[in-house]
Amino acid sequence: MQIDKDAVREILLVAKRLDEKQLLNAVEGNISIKRGGLIYVTPSAKNKAFLTEEMIAVTDLEGNQIGGTLKATSELRLHVLTYQMREDIGGIVHAHPSYLTAHAVCGRPVETRAYPEMMFKYGRIEVAGYGRPGTDDICRDLGPILKHSNVALLENHGAIAVGPDAIEAMNNMEAAEAIAKVLTISKLVGTQKDLPEEECRHLLSQHEEQQVTFR
């Protein structure tokens, strides 16, 4: 088996960045890359700030571990099944960032009519119904959301972001969390001031135009 060292190093880079940005805490969250017919994924119950190359688990596309000194994350099925949803997905970040996860715990999508960046980039960030972590059930409602979005909330659990590689998945998670933070704090400050209806329609129309239906 030929290990892709670049994939392993990319996971370590993303893990360090997510830890520095406090998008991961202690042993929660996991990162993976699909490359060359293999899945490279973070190990179970390890602080992402202190991972080393040999700790990264390697599995086949069905999730059978074939490399790495530590057991793959307990959320491996989430990664395996998500890769099967869209051929263009090459990286996944699953994490429990505070503001996105607060929405997930409440079962509420991230949405607004007061923040142009949110409306243009995401329209809204939807919630996939609860599924038991570590089982196939966690992906029950995820597929339809990821057909038109790179970020989704997992009800009572956390968030998932995807991209062509782990760096882009990380960027999607980081951007979504920043927007969720602004919207949450704004509700503490006061009542959000909605944009005029015409502007809302324009922004959502722009979102629809730049939105790709992923295959």
Nearest in space to 97 (alpha carbons), one of 180, 12, 183: 180
| Domain 5-210 classification at class level | alpha beta
Name the active-site residue from 75, 155, 174, 177. Answer: 75
- Token readout for 178 is 């920043």
Q: What is the pLDDT of residues 129-151, one digit of tens each?
A: 999 999 999 999 999 999 989 99
Pairwise pLDDT comparison (179 vs 212), residue with the higher score: 179
- Token readout for 26 is 């202690």
- The full set of domain ranges for the chain reads 5-210
Beta strands 127-128 and 151-154, pairing class:
parallel
Say what the pLDDT of residue 214 is: 54
Q: What is the pLDDT of residues 62-100, one digit of tens each?
A: 999 999 999 999 999 999 999 999 999 999 999 999 999
pTM (2 d.p.): 0.93
Buried b (16+ CB within 10 A) or exposed e, 159-182: bbbbbebbbbbbbbbbbbbebbee
Q: What is the pLDDT of residues 108-127, one digit of tens each?
A: 999 999 999 888 888 899 99
- 62 catalytic? Reply is no
